[in-house]
Structure 1
Amino acid sequence: MNISKYLGLALVGACALSACNKGPRSATNPGKYSSTTGIEYNTDEGMKVSDYQGIPDGPGLVFIEGGRTVLGSAEEDVAMTHDNLERTVTLASFYMDEAEVANIHWLEYLHYVRKDSAEEFYMSALPDTTVWARELSFNDPYVDYYLRYPGFRYFPVVGVSWLQANDYCTWRTAKVNERLASDASDSGGGSRKGGLFGRKKNKGGDAAEGTSDDGGVKIAIENGNTLPNYRLPTEAEWEYAAQALIGTQETGNENQENKRIYPWDGRQVRNPYGKKKGQFLANFKRGRGDYAGIAGSLNDGAMITEQVFSYPPNDYGLYNMAGNVNEWVQDIYRPLSYEDVEDLNPFRRNGYLDPSEKYDKKGYQSLIDDHVRVYKGGSWRDVAYWLSPGTRRFMAEDSATATIGFRCAMINAGSNK
């Protein structure tokens, strides 16, 4: 071995131990060599470290910067439930759908489910369109047309239970990541075709690693080329996103100048500014028998639901965080969640504290068990009281109505910003 080869090896070793890469190590700049062992990455001996430029953009999502806030009802507790008293918490940043899941999105879901799943599951995914039926009201056209007629495409899907909403989140995660894996495969010179969960092994790229036990694509999260799970937001996330208190703090400190009753400034439900001054900022029931105003000057303009991009968005860019339809959240319902849960990313899950045995559901003294879930936001059929983000109600997770829909959320993986 000649002297030049010895010098070359010495230089490689020095480079490895001194971390030749310029700048501090980070998720997007891990360096060519391990800073603890000096072993080169992406070699036969070294660990595979994929290129990573941050979490991919999730279709339909808006970034919600986390922080400290005061959750709880800002309205008088007219229902006398005392189940959401004010308390200070901190929420990590996350993502949320800018609008409610619409009929066209659910029809897309049904399209792929029918292609890739058993007929039994397809039938279980169908919304309950009979939620519109009322014995003393002529809502029959909505039963037949609301979900599938093209004019209703961007109206929020209703008649969907909490369980069905969770199934949708699971499908959406798989479908979006299948597309991302396919894009990475194509860019790597390979190709992959298949059903919803990818029935053929990936030939190229690094977004997937082979096949799972059921024959689908096995996503390797270490590569960072796929998204975390779409899911229902927690109650705390939903309430925080609805408050949208960004920009309300005093200059130079962290004190908030005001707290909102609704997802907009002020104490009123009408627009106080501009050409639309006096018009309602959400779709709700104004009073007994008054769903929309009078002909020739309709106010909120919606006898039932309205398109998901109607009405001004809040300061996070989220539409209809008050009114239109209530929205399912992840949490199981308990009256004392506000004092039981943690003050960092609070969440009430099944099977921990406040057991359902304490509630006499069998004796018809309570409606609470481990299968009732929280919904929030108010709907086209609710009065203004329920538009306040701090109000909360619950319903059985396998039930559905014409006043409840949902939107998805996602963690902000690998970042505090």
Structure 2
Amino acid sequence: MNFSKYLRFAVVGACALASCKGGPPTATKPGKYSSTTGLEYNTEEGMRVADYKGIPEGPGLIFIEGGRTVLGSQEEDVTMTHDNIERTVTIASFYMDEAEVANIHWLEYLHYARKDSSEEFYQSALPDTTVWARELSFNDPYVDYYLRYPGFRYFPVVGVSWLQANDYCTWRTAKVNERLAGEGDEGGSTKKKGGLFGRKKKGDAAEGTADADTGDGKVKISIENGNTLPNYRLPTEAEWEYAAQSLIGTQEAGNENQENKRIYPWDGRQVRNPYGKGMGTFLANFKRGRGDYAGIAGSLNDGAMITEYIYAYPPNDYGLYNMAGNVNEWVQDIYRPLSFDDVEDLNPFRRNGYLDPAEKYDKKGYQSLIDDHVRVYKGGSWRDVAYWLSPGTRRFMAEDSATAAIGFRCAMINAGSNK
């Protein structure tokens, strides 16, 4: 290497290491050269570093700023299960649907399932509408009308099992990323850009970060490109409970102490609105007492005999609707009574196959309902009393079962950022 070439390389390397202009390199501004080797990116032999402007905006999602909190029951353990002992944990920031997945969203899913998938899969995606049927109650009209009648479009989908909810998350991820891949840089153009379902271009990207050819002329996008969303998924139990608490609304700027707790996703011990024009109205859709689902005609309490509009009732301090009442919601976790003792204190999550094995529970002898196929659901519903509205309460059901009182919402990691 002659001296002038060496000097030029040294200058380039020094500039790269010192980030000559604009400060240190960042994820969105990595610079033209490597800050460790001085080698140039995006050349014929160099590593490809794709343009990245941050995580794309996911439809329907609200940002949930993470932090330290105390999870567990804030009320007397009236069920005597002792499965929600208080403990301090930290939850990383994430995204969550602002409202429950509604009938119209599920009908959209069924539309594309029938169009793009096998008849067998379409049949497996159908909700169990017979969850409304009761032998000693005339709920028969809901069996036929609740899912498909236009008036119920924005009521939460029910009759969906945990397994079906997971399939929906997978489909939603693919469909949203397909849309993002088809959008142009400006003006909402639908011109293909070689995204998730686009076609590979010649000489596009260096080996190791290129979009991989799947063999059918389509492209599986590389994570390194950063132009697709992370997976939609069910929230973990800890994420769900943290988001429901919404204690961000109780914190004062600069105060590191959590001086307030909440029994419900709102302030106070009451279930009625204590302020303003809405004073006295109920803050959630739940069963007030035996036989009282909605109140007296002319002076209804919550007015909802069954489920209600997914944007009814005031949102919590994160902007999330119906984190108490309306329908219970599936979360990712497998159920174990000792989850709060066993799981870690950073992003706690109970998965299959670790500690507290199913063999300890006598399901065959009918002494327990617990195995590796029961999942947690939370939040209370139109059919539950106020006790179950508290975010710390928890129940479980088989992952392939469904009821008229359980729905779900999706969550997503906040990739590449702590804020």
Structure 2 residue matching 1:18: 3-state secondary structure = helix
Is residue 274 from structure 1 mapped to residue 271 from structure 2 by the alignment? no
8 Å CA contact 2:66, 2:90 repeated in 1: yes
The answer to whether structure 1 residue 395 and structure 2 residue 397 are counterparts is: yes
Aligned pairs for 1:355-370 (under 5 A) are 355-370=357-372
Distance in 2 separating the partners of 1:320 and 1:189:
35
CA contact (8 A) 1:61 1:96 kept: yes
State the shift of 1:336 in Å.
0.3
Aligned to 1:15: 12
AA at the equivalent of 1:154:
Y
Partner of 1:231: 233
| CA distance 1:71–1:312, shift in 2 (3 Å) | same
* Matching of residue 61 in structure 1 with residue 58 in structure 2: no
| Residue 11 of structure 1: how far off its partner (Å) | 4.1
Is the CA contact 2:264–2:389 (under 8 Å) kept in the aligned structure 1?
yes
Judging changes above 3 Å, is the alpha-carbon distance between structure 1 residues 107 and 188 closer, same or farther for their aligned structure 2 residues? closer
Matched, 1:181 2:178: no
Change (3 A) 1:202 1:157: farther
User: Partner of 1:220 in structure 2?
Assistant: 222
**SS of the counterpart of 1:57?**
coil
Q: Secondary structure at the residue paired with 1:255?
A: coil
Q: Name 1:300's counterpart in structure 2.
A: 302
Query: One-letter code of the match for 1:122?
Result: Y
Question: C-alpha distance in 2, partners of 1:400/1:202?
Answer: 42
Q: 1:344 aligns with which of 346, 357, 365?
A: 346
Shift of 1:252: 3.9
Deviates more, 1:142-151 or 1:17-26: 17-26
> Which whole-Å CA distance do the structure 1 matches of 2:185 and 2:119 have between them?
31
Aligned to 1:395, the other structure's residue is in SS state strand
Per-residue deviation, 1:209: 2.0
1:105-137: CA deviations, max 9, x gaps? 001111111111000000000000000001111
CA distance in 2, matches of 1:190, 1:208: 22
Give CA-to-partner distance per residue, 1:14-58, whole Å, 9 cap, x none. Answer: 123322443111111111100111110000111000111111111
Deviation string for 1:64-117 (max 9, x for gaps)?
000000000001111000001000000000000000000000011111111110
Q: Structure 1, unaligned stretches of length 5 or more?
A: none
Distance 1:365 1:390 in 2: 25
2:199 match: 201
Structure 1 range deviating more: 203-212 or 364-373: 203-212
Q: Secondary structure at the match of 2:248?
A: coil
Distance 2:188 2:158 in 1: 41
Task: Indicate if the aligned counterparts of 1:162 and 1:328 stay in contact, CA closer than 8 A.
Answer: yes
Cα distance in 2 for residues equivalent to 1:391 and 1:364: 24
Structure 1 match to 2:106: 106
Moved more, 372-381 or 14-23: 14-23
Percent identity between matched residues is: 82
C-alpha separation in 1, matches of 2:22 and 2:6: 21
Aligned to 2:333: 331
Counterpart amino acid of residue 399 in structure 2: E
**Gap change, CA 1:189 and 1:400, over 3 Å in 2:** closer
Separation (CA, whole Å) in 2 of partners of 1:238 and 1:56 = 22
Letter in 1 for 2:67: G
Query: Which residue of structure 2 aligns with residue 380 of structure 1?
Result: 382
Q: Deviations over 1:125-153 (max 9, x none)?
A: 00000000011111111000000111100
1:32 is matched with 32
Q: What TM-score, normalized to structure 1?
A: 0.93
Shift of 1:275: 1.0
Pairwise CA RMSD of aligned residues?
Answer: 2.5
Q: How many pairs are equivalent?
A: 411
Q: Which amino acid aligns with 2:48?
A: K
What's the counterpart of residue 49 of structure 1? 49
1:133 aligns with 2:133: yes
Cα contact 2:233–2:411 (8 A) shared by 1:
yes
Q: What secondary structure, in the 3-state scheme, does the structure 1 residue paired with 2:391 have?
A: coil
Render the CA deviation track for 1:199-239: whole Å, top value 9, x for unaligned. Answer: x6245998982543676530211011110000000000000
- Whole-angstrom CA distance in 2 between matches of 1:41 and 1:76: 60
Give the match for residue 72 of structure 1.
72
Alpha carbons of structure 1 residues 9 and 111: separation in structure 2 relative to 1, 3 Å: farther
- How far did 1:360 drift? 0.4
Q: Please, which moves more after superposition, 378-387 or 51-60?
A: 51-60
CA contact (8 A) 2:212 2:222 kept: no
Which segments of 5 or more consecutive residues in structure 2 lack a partner in the other structure?
A: none
Give the structure-2-normalised TM-score: 0.93
Contact 1:305 / 1:325 at 8 angstroms: preserved in 2? Answer: yes
**Structure 1 residue 184: Cα displacement:** 4.9
Q: 2:378, 2:393 within 8 Å by CA — same for their partners in 1?
A: yes
> Counterparts in 2 of 1:81-160, with a 5 A limit?
81-160=81-160
Whether contact under 8 Å (2:183, 2:189) holds in the other structure is: no
